Structure 1
């Protein structure tokens, strides 16, 4: 049996930091060679980065109650058409349509949007 205790993560890092750098040290090692899996496919032992993922940003904003009902109505209309959509998808579809408008049509549409007071309502204690 091996009576030697395995190194902890901290010990491995410390030993790596304390190793002297020599000419033989390979600072940029070549990627490991691919290995063959049981089903015959070659796989690299290095993880590949997933491309095409977009960063998602969380935000919060206020809607008039009437607009909130419109979102609900649009979700129901999509559901009756056989599509389950989320609230954020309805909003993103609206953004897509707005970007397709020319400047004059966009201006006319934005003038129809009700302006709401931003921020949280103040809490008054009497």
Structure 2
């Protein structure tokens, strides 16, 4: 399975009905290099990813899989949360999470974890 950035870079280019040559002509990114990104053989650096996202009109958060909305930027707090939370890992249960000024109990974290999995599966169609 290709990395999410590869799938999304290819998807958005095709959705916009652009060829790799058209992307090359507008961005200066070699079409063979772009092909490597779309196949997941190579990973674009920050500057290259920014150029592609700007050209395609999508956010880097979407390309990298941090959000399912291609046009919505995450706040810094949301990015931090994504970086530290893994819903498939026990670290979520062991982590320090606060709501309304108090730390969540283990049971509340388990319920939140279950609800988040249901919600995310529904949003992504899994």
Q: Calculate the TM-score normalised by the size of structure 1.
A: 0.21
Q: Which has the higher contact order (CA 8 A, sep 6+)?
A: 2
Comparing both structures, which one devotes a greater share of its residues to helix? 2
